[in-house]
Amino acid sequence: MTRQQLLLLAIETAPVDWQDAANRWTKNEAGIGFLPATEERGPVQCAVRELDAIIERLARFREYIDQRDGAGCVDQGHAAAVKASNKIGRKIRKALGFTYPNKGDLRI
């Protein structure tokens, strides 16, 4: 399963269907493919890791765009938008249980 397919599955699966989706995933029913496993992680854990990365990137991008749109005022500029994106990124990484939530800060 590609990253794009995983994203679409996550977005299109209603919460009421999460149990069935998880059951299919853990049993690999209906030919649902996984992201490739690694020596350290199984395929489901690799998918969870990819979802974490997608969640973080979407939250960062959303905050960046909001700041560039003016956050209700004027365009805050690139530097302020990156700073705000890093702030929300740290919160997301902490919520997802990352050991070093500051490690993923953008330096652009």
The pLDDT value given to residue 30: 43
What SS3 class is residue 88? helix
Nearest CA among 46, 27, 26 for reference residue 36:
46
CB atoms within 10 A of CB 74: 8
Minimum mean pLDDT among 1-5, 80-84, 87-91, 95-99: which range?
1-5
Mapping DSSP onto H, E and C, the string for 8-52 reads HHHHHCCHHHHHHHHHHHHHCHHHCCCCCCCCCCCHHHHHHHHHH
The pLDDT value given to residue 31: 47
CB 26 within 8 A of CB 59: no
**pTM summary value:** 0.73
Tens digit of pLDDT for each residue in 1-50?
677 777 788 888 899 998 887 777 766 544 455 555 566 666 677 778 88
